[in-house]
Structure 1
């Protein structure tokens, strides 16, 4: 019986050649929207990502009193207002919305109900809610430590010092730091567990500085004093993690791909891809035109600690299924609490298509095997759609379930991927 709502990922059949432009970073876009809402005046956010998560963030901010409008130059975000009443925030399955907006709700005077997709109720948020409560927020989560929950705003938040276990998600820490300039006493956050993704923490600190805050860090202690934020204009970088399938394609099948607009300096964790593909044998050039990757279509096995760049795991795991030797991905136990349990999903789906992939305590073990076609289930996870596309480069008949899920970060991904493969065919016509 034919599978409903699937996309048959195109097979490369040879070297890939082409230029790709990816949309703005989701992580930067949603941080920029939050900081803009906390600023003293309107902020124009240029080249933001337009995706489900970004729209959910703008809608959430509107419910909290920070309206926005799309202009020819970007999105103009107005400062938060402290209105009264009762509102509801739709979280979808957006971790940044679920974690970044509750502190803002505590700053206002509204009663705010938070809930979203079934999947968001499984994603951890309890340490953040506990920390907010310790800082003076009035939160009712029914003891669940997860959505649905309610934040009752009382016109501001005391702030101060708090301990935080951010080991399940660096977004817990970022949520407190982003809002801290608006707390009466700022915030001093002491980490009690090692957070994943140091690059995302660095991103948060960098963006706070750009908006006028003065964050300080001393090891596991972070301090952000109360201050007035202000930035009239902010430009969003391309999303380097979203570029991952395009960056690794030449390693899987050979060829050259250029990602336009790749920044020379960035805090994005996706920039790690440059060193990864070089380690796996690709030629890499970064210049004013962007990042150019040339691969030979063969790659060795590898042992990779992806703790700081866990969001790249699905695409990297799919790529390593084509390696000549065994591979080990470690440091990513926290992926069990992402959009889905990514480790279980990857082990199950890659193995179902002929791969030899098993879970470890904190990652995946991948051994060489011959892949074949079939349905690749994606569990409403955008990164799994991208992983399925990479598998399809060399395994004919990979049917990727629910490709529209990729709209979370790159609504035009399927078209861009097909265009890259079509460009390869044109490049090799006589």
Structure 2
């Protein structure tokens, strides 16, 4: 699906979609409990579908409903002995979270997914699992994880650490995670710890890692509703900062989500920001230059790059190197869409310098990346001249209703098949 964007100003109110990051974590914790319970407001994104589908392959018995913006009613977890194939589609979270989980449960199975997903770096995770009897060959599991000391490179992906945090509490015996090198995306680990606490799991944080008591039991203590997603809401809120007034409902500023840092960035940019209970309004005011350290929030880099196009002076975004190993080479994608819009940028080691100008419309490639497409939409709506975004259907990975909300706020789109 290709979409034509005609310039306009965005104004109005939308409901932030569910936090995909929180959905993944709640679903896996609920699965590990094996108990009855309900999680609602899970949404309809492809990545969430990937995790539900994978958990079913691993023995989850549940019922799904469209009520309450997507609801999963958990029944039980069955023992699996049929060597299932577990398809993670394009979801890195699904794969990296469930490899350790399946290993801890001793489920013999084979994980699969898209070529891009399976090419992303997972060797360090597999290595540490194999050091503890997982017996993983490629993505086929044949062993059962044992407790001990898990030394993991924390500079590649926080998803490795989350996968271990899910898995180690159910092993026979205590374990320790030792984090080597600087931790990236640390805020996502905080989100994991919050989910574990909600399911009765105790994790002890240490200076260089975590101590995990073994033989713990996940407990589905309460039915849960997923929070609104700051990461997804960041695109339309940024549109408000550039040239309108946009309110996002279903956002809790007290959330543990790291991507709520978008609010501080928009304030630094000079936008007016009003925070109320479960809603945030952002409106155009000043357009100041900014320096943004995105080491802990890499999912904000693309939309921060768009924001920089409209600043008064050059902007710097640091912590960008990890974008090369995301759903696409996001760093190259950013520099490409900036160049096509007439905005100059310069790459330095782990930094991107952006020199603001007056962006012009063009034809942009979505790069099979949901965040690239949504960023290009915001850039296009405030550029001079019409734009076309190719492969825009990829938004279904995280925010299927993005174009619905975009047009609700006054965005002008024309779908070109």
TM-score, normalized by length of structure 2? Answer: 0.93
Mean CA deviation greater in 60-69 or 352-361? 352-361
Q: What do residues 134-167 of structure 1 show as CA deviations (whole Å, max 9, x unaligned)? A: 22211002xxxxxxx111255xx32221100021
Alignment of 1:7 onto 2:3: yes
Q: Is the 8 A contact 2:268 2:290 kept in 1?
A: no
Alignment of 1:163 onto 2:159: no
The residue number in structure 1 matching 2:240 is 250
| Distance apart, 1:384 and its partner CA | 0.3
| Distance apart, 1:48 and its partner CA | 1.1
Q: Is the 8 A contact 1:127 1:165 kept in 2?
A: yes
Change (3 A) 1:175 1:10: farther
Q: What do residues 52-99 of structure 1 show as CA deviations (whole Å, max 9, x unaligned)? A: 000010110111111221144521234433221221111222111110
Alignment of 1:240 onto 2:230: yes
The residue number in structure 1 matching 2:304 is 316
| Distance apart, 1:214 and its partner CA | 0.6
User: Any idea what SS the aligned residue of 1:181 has?
Assistant: helix
The residue number in structure 1 matching 2:30 is 36
| Distance apart, 1:128 and its partner CA | 1.2
Alignment of 1:84 onto 2:73: no
Aligned counterparts of 1:261 and 1:278: Cα–Cα separation in 2:
20
The residue number in structure 2 matching 1:365 is 353
| Distance apart, 1:179 and its partner CA | 1.7
Aligned counterparts of 1:180 and 1:78: Cα–Cα separation in 2:
23
Q: Is the 8 A contact 1:165 1:191 kept in 2?
A: yes
Aligned counterparts of 1:186 and 1:61: Cα–Cα separation in 2:
25
The residue number in structure 2 matching 1:331 is 319
Q: Is the 8 A contact 1:36 1:79 kept in 2?
A: no
Aligned counterparts of 1:302 and 1:394: Cα–Cα separation in 2:
19
Q: Is the 8 A contact 1:168 1:337 kept in 2?
A: no
Alignment of 1:278 onto 2:267: yes
User: Any idea what SS the aligned residue of 1:340 has?
Assistant: coil
Structure 2: gaps of 5 or more residues = 413-417
Alignment of 1:48 onto 2:38: no
The residue number in structure 1 matching 2:133 is 136
Change (3 A) 1:422 1:306: closer
Aligned counterparts of 1:77 and 1:300: Cα–Cα separation in 2:
48
Alignment of 1:383 onto 2:371: yes
| Distance apart, 1:194 and its partner CA | 1.4
Aligned equivalent of 1:105, options 102, 106, 112: 102
The residue number in structure 2 matching 1:295 is 284
Q: What do residues 273-322 of structure 1 show as CA deviations (whole Å, max 9, x unaligned)? A: 121111111121211251111223x5122111111111010111012112
User: Any idea what SS the aligned residue of 2:359 has?
Assistant: coil
Aligned counterparts of 1:78 and 1:181: Cα–Cα separation in 2:
22
User: Any idea what SS the aligned residue of 2:297 has?
Assistant: helix
Structure 1: gaps of 5 or more residues = 142-148, 424-430
Change (3 A) 1:159 1:81: farther
Change (3 A) 1:203 1:411: same
Alignment of 1:374 onto 2:362: yes
In angstroms, what is the RMSD of aligned CA positions? 1.7
Q: Is the 8 A contact 2:318 2:350 kept in 1?
A: yes
Aligned counterparts of 2:92 and 2:174: Cα–Cα separation in 1:
24
Alignment of 1:21 onto 2:15: yes
Alignment of 1:355 onto 2:343: yes
Aligned counterparts of 2:277 and 2:98: Cα–Cα separation in 1:
36
User: Any idea what SS the aligned residue of 1:266 has?
Assistant: coil
User: Any idea what SS the aligned residue of 1:307 has?
Assistant: coil
Q: What do residues 399-421 of structure 1 show as CA deviations (whole Å, max 9, x unaligned)? A: 11211101111101011111111
TM-score, normalized by length of structure 1? Answer: 0.90
Aligned counterparts of 1:262 and 1:174: Cα–Cα separation in 2:
24
Q: What do residues 352-410 of structure 1 show as CA deviations (whole Å, max 9, x unaligned)? A: 22110232211311112332222211211111011111111211322112111011111
| Distance apart, 1:422 and its partner CA | 5.4
Q: Is the 8 A contact 1:58 1:68 kept in 2?
A: no
User: Any idea what SS the aligned residue of 1:9 has?
Assistant: strand
Aligned equivalent of 1:150, options 130, 135, 140: 140
